Structure 1
Amino acid sequence: MILLSQILKRLIKQGALTVIDPEGREILFDSGNPGPSVKMRLHTKAVTRKLALFPKLYLGEAYMDGDLTLEDGNIYDLLDLFTRNIGWGKRNPLISFGDFAYRFYWFFNQFNPKSRSLKNVAHHYDLSDDFYDLFLDENRQYSCAYYKTPNDSLEQAQVQKMAHIAAKLALKPGQKVLDIGCGWGGMARFLAENADVKVTGVTLSKNQLGYASEKARQTGLSNKVDYRLTDYRDVTEKFDRIVSVGMFEHVGVPHYKQYFKKVKSILTDDGVALIHTIGTADGPSPTNPWIQKYIFPGGYIPPLSEVTPAIEKAGLYVTDVEILRVHYAETLRDWRKRFMEKLETVREIYDDRFCRMWEFYLAASEVSFRNSGLVVFQIQLSKRLTDLPLTRDYIHEVEEKELNPARVAAE
């Protein structure tokens, strides 16, 4: 407990943390400054050593295993306290020996050949359909929503996100669109129904493919939407537009050049692409080890400085970049609220450890977007400079007049 106490003394500059050690002693770390106040209990001596050695991995594991519990506050409050004090873009007391060792593992784990990509996707997305229905919107949009006001519902914000992306694609009737990493197919169905285009969606998840295909049949869109169990690297036909939402995080830095070369090769000469991905305002750094192990194996969140060189080398123009700042934090807030409201139902599907794992994941992700420099990039690309309007005004005009979210949601 001595080493962990020294780390926490240096860390807590806002708010207060009370730690109850395995012997039942209470140790207060009080900054004297405003901020969250949390009390946690550590149940074993082993967990105190692990937290001092490699907190980025063992904090989540301790909560999952019940070796760390909260007496005052909840896991969101604890993670909010830690991330507020850590901040972003600087060294902090939670940098440990484990971080240095982990960098070597992370370097090799960035490679995502087709076989590994298939396994990584199945790990997270091939869970029970009933599980995702508990906290996602009705279209199962598992990516950042777009909140135009703080009072927007999750359903409204997700429709607004799809309309916003559709407007940026500058679609024309009859065009062919590719959706790379189509998930449960909501974006593809939205485009097919509201922009009169034909959409091919590719995914590596069998569960997502089955759900998306059945949903297209139920909504009468099977003739306009084609879902396939295909790696984007195996797509060969040409498309007028390409969209990818929440998939680029799984590409891996060594494959960025290959990814954008593929986008260029399958775009028509007057084609436009829109890449929507989580990004970081900080410099390159390894994926959080707990997220890597339990949630998104093979995942990585890049800064723009790693993405744009690959785009340049592929010979594509960056025609627009928008940064969505707090939108994903608000999305995660809504997901977490729904998840916690349905916690007893989740326990009927999975065990308590799974419930604590997902509670930790949703809380950690939300505070990362609020306190740790995570954002969302929307990067628009084209092969030529003259195939989009001269100003960004068209985005708002199309979004409001042709893809009005209020109208779409009401239909």
Structure 2
Amino acid sequence: MKVVQKTQQTATEKYHSWPARLARKLVLSKMRVIAIGHLVIEDEAESFQFGQPPEQAKVCAHIKVLDGSAYVQVLLNGTIGSGEAYMQGSWTSPNLLNVIRLMVDNMDLIEDMDGRWSRLPRMALRSLHQLNSNNRKGSRRNIAAHYDLGNEFFQLFLDKTMLYSSAVFSSAQTPLYDASVHKMEHICRKLQLQPSDHLLEIGAGWGAMAIFAAKHYGCRVTTATISEKQYEYVRRWIEREGLQDKVSVLLQDYRDLRGSYDKLVSIEMVEAVGHEYHRKFFSTCSHLLKEDGLMVMQAITIQDQRYQQYRKEVDFIQRYIFPGGCLPSNQIVAHHVATATDMQIVDLEDITAHYARTIDHWRHAFLIHASKVKALGFDEQFIRMWEFYLCYCEGGFMQRVISAAQFVFAKPRFLGSF
């Protein structure tokens, strides 16, 4: 660790309260475990350097601490505390994404930050998180907390399709809109859609997938959501397109869906199901499919080795962005498909790199339109929270601590090739 004193004042003189001085000392001592990348932490008294020399590091990050309370929050609330301190403006960075990337490259540091000192607050958070159960009532409440922020809000940073899920880019130069359309085409081909098919979509979003399938493949589509604002948006879009005879939208929980469908698609909805309902979700999907049916599921996943610990904890995303959320792992998906359904996994495509690029587009659009976000009634703390959330996810995908994939499941009498 390299230390540079910036002023005549010592840290003891600058940080008058003993909790801030103690927290500063303990937090900075934790940073000594950084082995990958180069980190500079600068406060009003001193500047500290950790990790590799900058010329050797692939990721260089810089944190400027503006208020000593940031040290206290990080010490007592770990990684969630670091996000909260950023939201409150207690620290900043010229490149927040690189801060996230460096942190996830040093998992020992994250585990230490979420260790002894933050144990009691994290226990309290786990208790609160248990209130976000994904039963029928809880699911509607959890979904509303995020998706009912307002259609106008999401329109500020999503592309014209209003797809709030990973696009699939055909090249590095592909615009986001084209990549979103390509993703829908990619999924339709995997589903082997025919005009005679009846497609069920669980998790309508803002309707792009359902309308695309009906317009370009001529099939019937039933799409379901539990977000009232999304439901109204999709209903109006169907009417504008004159597709009432082709597309039906339901304001209905997946557990209450009935019928028999040729094909089923679910795009990044399983993350909202919750650990205790994963089995029910896959079982329900299987029962809704005909015996020769196909299902495509796009999902964000977490590493198999980290899943059991992850599901017992509460992270920044679950605390502030997606209450009740729980990423599955590939192993969890395979387990429930094998034990709760008669389906088989016939294809798995990793699209993690595409998601990092997708979020990069969203993040830049969001920040460009920050003044418009404020005009909708959101404050600076909300904007900083969303900036942290988007960097948190983009950095996670870039460093592959989280992944994205498209799964294809086939029922027993599906005899086609894949």
Q: Unpaired runs of 5+ in structure 2?
A: 1-23
Matches within 5 A, 1:289-328: 289-313=315-339, 314-328=341-355
Question: For residues 369 and 225 of structure 1, what CA distance do their matches in structure 2 show?
Answer: 34
Query: Residue 370 of structure 2 aligns with which residue?
Result: 343
Query: Residue 248 of structure 2 aligns with which residue?
Result: 226
Question: For residues 226 and 129 of structure 2, what CA distance do their matches in structure 1 show?
Answer: 24
- Deviation of residue 288 (structure 1)? 5.1
Q: In structure 1, the residue corresponding to 2:173 is in which secondary structure?
A: coil
Deviation per CA, 1:345-377, whole angstroms, max 9, x where unpaired?
A: 112111111111111111111000011421112
Matches within 5 A, 1:261-410: 261-283=283-305, 284=307, 285-286=310-311, 289-313=315-339, 314-349=341-376, 350-384=378-412, 386-389=414-417, 392=418
- Report the aligned-residue RMSD: 2.2
Question: For residues 106 and 165 of structure 1, what CA distance do their matches in structure 2 show?
Answer: 37
Q: Is the 8 A contact 1:110 1:252 kept in 2?
A: no
Query: Residue 120 of structure 1 aligns with which residue?
Result: 142
Q: Percent identity?
A: 29
Query: Residue 270 of structure 2 aligns with which residue?
Result: 248
Query: Residue 207 of structure 2 aligns with which residue?
Result: 185
Q: Is the 8 A contact 2:104 2:110 kept in 1?
A: no
Query: Residue 47 of structure 1 aligns with which residue?
Result: 70
- 1:195 is the counterpart of 2:217: yes
| Worse-superposed segment, 114-123 or 90-99 | 90-99
Q: In structure 1, the residue corresponding to 2:97 is in which secondary structure?
A: helix
Q: In structure 2, the residue corresponding to 1:54 is in which secondary structure?
A: helix
| Worse-superposed segment, 295-304 or 379-388 | 379-388
- Deviation of residue 109 (structure 1)? 5.9
- 1:79 is the counterpart of 2:105: no
Question: For residues 125 and 334 of structure 1, what CA distance do their matches in structure 2 show?
Answer: 19
TM-score (norm 1): 0.88
Q: Unpaired runs of 5+ in structure 1?
A: 393-411
Question: For residues 173 and 188 of structure 2, what CA distance do their matches in structure 1 show?
Answer: 23
Deviation per CA, 1:179-220, whole angstroms, max 9, x where unpaired?
A: 001110100001001111111110011110111111111122
Q: Which amino acid is 1:6 matched to?
A: S
Query: Residue 96 of structure 1 aligns with which residue?
Result: 115
Question: For residues 203 and 183 of structure 1, what CA distance do their matches in structure 2 show?
Answer: 7
- Deviation of residue 48 (structure 1)? 0.6
| Worse-superposed segment, 340-349 or 43-52 | 43-52
TM-score (norm 2): 0.86
Query: Residue 157 of structure 1 aligns with which residue?
Result: 179
- Deviation of residue 93 (structure 1)? 3.8
Deviation per CA, 1:27-72, whole angstroms, max 9, x where unpaired?
A: 33352132444432334433212212332211111111111123xx
Q: Is the 8 A contact 1:111 1:255 kept in 2?
A: no
Q: Is the 8 A contact 1:280 1:301 kept in 2?
A: yes
Question: For residues 66 and 83 of structure 2, what CA distance do their matches in structure 1 show?
Answer: 14
Q: Is the 8 A contact 2:222 2:249 kept in 1?
A: yes
Question: For residues 91 and 49 of structure 1, what CA distance do their matches in structure 2 show?
Answer: 16
Q: Which amino acid is 2:203 matched to?
A: G
Query: Residue 50 of structure 2 aligns with which residue?
Result: 29
Q: Is the 8 A contact 1:110 1:254 kept in 2?
A: no
Deviation per CA, 1:263-315, whole angstroms, max 9, x where unpaired?
A: 12111121111111101234212365211111001111121111111111122
- Deviation of residue 324 (structure 1)? 1.5
- Deviation of residue 338 (structure 1)? 1.1
- Deviation of residue 110 (structure 1)? 7.5
Deviation per CA, 1:378-408, whole angstroms, max 9, x where unpaired?
A: 121122154322xx3xxxxxxxxxxxxxxxx
Matches within 5 A, 1:121-136: 121-136=143-158
Count matched residues.
384
Question: For residues 205 and 405 of structure 2, what CA distance do their matches in structure 1 show?
Answer: 18
Q: Is the 8 A contact 2:202 2:266 kept in 1?
A: yes
- Deviation of residue 96 (structure 1)? 1.7
Q: Is the 8 A contact 1:282 1:373 kept in 2?
A: no
Q: Which amino acid is 1:60 matched to?
A: G
Query: Residue 407 of structure 1 aligns with which residue?
Result: none
Query: Residue 8 of structure 2 aligns with which residue?
Result: none
Question: For residues 235 and 37 of structure 2, what CA distance do their matches in structure 1 show?
Answer: 50
Larger RCO (CA under 8 A, 6+ residues apart): 1
